[in-house]
A = this chain, B = another copy of it.
């Protein structure tokens, strides 16, 4: 049955691939209309999920992610309006040239085909991914968290109604509504029909996908992020950047996890940083040297430097020099966002050259790693792997290209 669903999605993708931008935008407008018209039904379905979630003892944070309100729905509709306004990457032709053989060769941007997205209990992601996929002419198979099933079933039904209204195959967007986890493993083997899997969730989900999928997987969204305070750093500015990176929104992947500090300024810097951030509620896990400098720091366990805190905890480690900072980052970073705070051009260049994370910063907060901040207009996910797309993935990341060769009875000699 899952195979049938995937096959249907592939068939729908053939139609999607040849739609004009206008048709795709009409579909997005029809989705907005459905969301507006059926707002009370959506909120009611969502309340069923919320009630079940409370009964199941979900944390307040999870319940908040799960919750839809009139205001949030309006925000989602605004996001779709913005998506409509973005230019459509599909159908662009480039690098066209006449080769020596006489062949006229060009590349054309085309949809990937069918994308499978596995995500947690956030009903807004259902709308988000479906719309990003449609905008780029891809079919989508959605597998949301079971806690949000009532919301998702209705949302996907409304999307499908909108698609049919504008003459698009409803199976272009499909939900795996059965909460059985075994279906995830089945999904990951359907490489005959699905072109890309995006797991939007924690380390365990990512690992399951990497280990079991025969479909290419875009891993990401896990940020063990570092800032290195070089000996020449401007202390005031450095503390401001570290505070922003740690405190502004600690629960997200681009929040700071570990500060590395050049030993030559460690004493002064730690004794200014720790009280400044403690005032914001930050607690510290330090290497022995930093604990010796400021006893507010607890002694870090080895695993602390491999932890994505997602909270107001901050690791602190004193390092001998920039090279040691780079070594630490190579060993412990998840390749998401890492930066240097320095006044030295040489140090900045060396750090940028040697740290191979998706986003590398000089004197700026790691919090900038985000599709909207990067001006991409939309964000599909944040990739921390190196193939196809790195860092915040915009609409382009849902496309590929084909080579088109044109001759007039042309043969290879």
A residues lining the B interface (CB < 8 Å): 14, 17-18, 97, 99-101, 103, 105, 108, 110, 112-113, 191, 195-196, 210-211, 214, 216-218, 234, 236-238, 240-241, 243-245, 248, 330, 339, 341, 348, 352-354, 356-365, 367-369, 373-375, 385-388, 390-392, 400-412
Contacts and interface: CB of A to CB of B under 8 A. Distances in A.
Nearest to A352: B404
Contact of A110 (B356, B361, B373): B356
A9 to B, nearest CB: 14
A216 B219 CA distance: 10
A240 B390 CA distance: 44
B241 A360 contact: no
Main secondary structure of the interface of A (DSSP, over half): mixed
A380 to B, nearest CB: 13
Contact of A237 (B110, B352, B386, B409): B409
Given A113-B386, A356-B17, A365 B410 contact: yes
A392 B113 CA distance: 20
Contacts of A404: 352, 359-362
Which among A218, A403, A408 has the highest number of chain B CB atoms within 10 Å? A403
A350 B195 CA distance: 22
A8 to B, nearest CB: 14
Nearest to A236: B409
A217 B404 CA distance: 24
Contacts of A99: 373-375
Contact of A409 (B18, B241, B368): B241
A221 B309 CA distance: 44
A46 to B, nearest CB: 30
Contact of A18 (B234, B354, B391, B400): B354
Nearest to A110: B356
- A-B residue pairs, 7 tightest by C-beta: A237-B409, A364-B407, A244-B411, A367-B412, A364-B410, A387-B388, A388-B388
Which among A195, A358, A404 has the highest number of chain B CB atoms within 10 Å? A404
B105 A374 contact: yes
A373 B237 contact: no
A400 B387 contact: yes
Which among A367, A387, A404 has the highest number of chain B CB atoms within 10 Å? A387
A357 B405 CA distance: 12
A210 B314 CA distance: 39
Nearest to A108: B352
Contacts of A101: 368, 373
A276 to B, nearest CB: 14
26 contacts: A14-B330, A14-B354, A99-B375, A103-B364, A105-B375, A112-B386, A112-B387, A195-B387, A216-B385, A234-B409, A241-B407, A248-B411, A339-B405, A356-B402, A357-B402, A361-B406, A363-B407, A364-B406, A364-B411, A365-B410, A368-B410, A368-B412, A374-B403, A387-B400, A390-B401, A391-B403
Nearest to A412: B367
Nearest to A353: B18
A243 B411 CA distance: 9
Contacts of A387: 112, 195-196, 216, 218, 387-388, 400
A112 B239 CA distance: 33
A219 B256 CA distance: 37
A103 B373 contact: yes
B406 A241 contact: no
Nearest to A111: B356
Given A373-B103, A387-B400, A359 B405 contact: yes
A99 to B, nearest CB: 6
Which among A97, A103, A356, A388 has the highest number of chain B CB atoms within 10 Å? A356
A353 B110 CA distance: 9
A369 B405 CA distance: 9
Nearest to A355: B402
